[in-house]
């Protein structure tokens, strides 16, 4: 039996929520924020799977999302440049995103998510 391709993305989202909890302006990240983060990671993963298949692997990316859900930037934090470009295309294809919950926004009006992304 093949593992579900969504599982790595949900695992990454849950790990990210755990990391965001101490960084959030709110005392804890609420269920709405966790659901939003999981949805963003899942949406990016689906955009990659919808593209032409290629060599897979894992990268760590940082995605900036503006208060209105617009993509503010993508940074490859770790991994091969070729996979980073593929991840960037997936993020761009998945954008725009639903607006982030207010508890995840910085005072400047954006949020940044850093997470591992497994490309298949």
Instruction: List the one residue out of 70, 93, 89 whose CA is nearest residue 81.
Output: 89
Predicted structure pTM score: 0.74
> How far, in Å, CA of 41 to CA of 116, rounded?
9
Give 9-63 pLDDT, tens digit per residue: 444 554 555 555 544 444 456 889 999 999 999 999 999 988 867 778 999 999 9
Give DSSP secondary structure letters for 65-96: EETTS-EEEEEEEES-HHHHHHHHHHHHHH-S
Helices 81-94 and 31-50 pack at an angle, to 10 degrees, of 110
In the chain, where does DSSP find H-type helix? 7-23, 31-50, 81-94
Model confidence at 93: pLDDT above 50: yes
* Separation between Cα atoms, residue 42 and residue 68, nearest integer Å: 19
Q: Give the pLDDT of residue 1.
A: 45
Residue of higher predicted confidence among 54 and 68: 68
Please check whether residue 87 is in contact with residue 31, taking contact to mean a CB–CB distance below 8 angstroms: no
């Amino acid at each position: 039996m093949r593992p579900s391709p969504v599982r790595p993305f949900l695992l990454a989202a849950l790990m990210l929520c755990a990391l965001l909890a101490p960084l959030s302006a709110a005392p804890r990240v609420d269920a709405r924020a966790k659901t939003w983060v999981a949805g963003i990671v899942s949406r990016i993963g689906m955009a990659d799977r919808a593209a032409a298949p290629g060599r897979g692997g894992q990268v760590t990316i940082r995605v900036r999302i503006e208060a209105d859900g617009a993509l503010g930037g993508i940074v490859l934090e770790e991994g091969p440049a070729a996979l980073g470009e593929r991840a960037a295309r997936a993020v761009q294809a998945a954008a725009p995103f639903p607006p982030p919950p207010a508890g995840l926004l910085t005072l400047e009006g954006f949020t940044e998510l850093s997470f591992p992304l497994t490309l298949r």
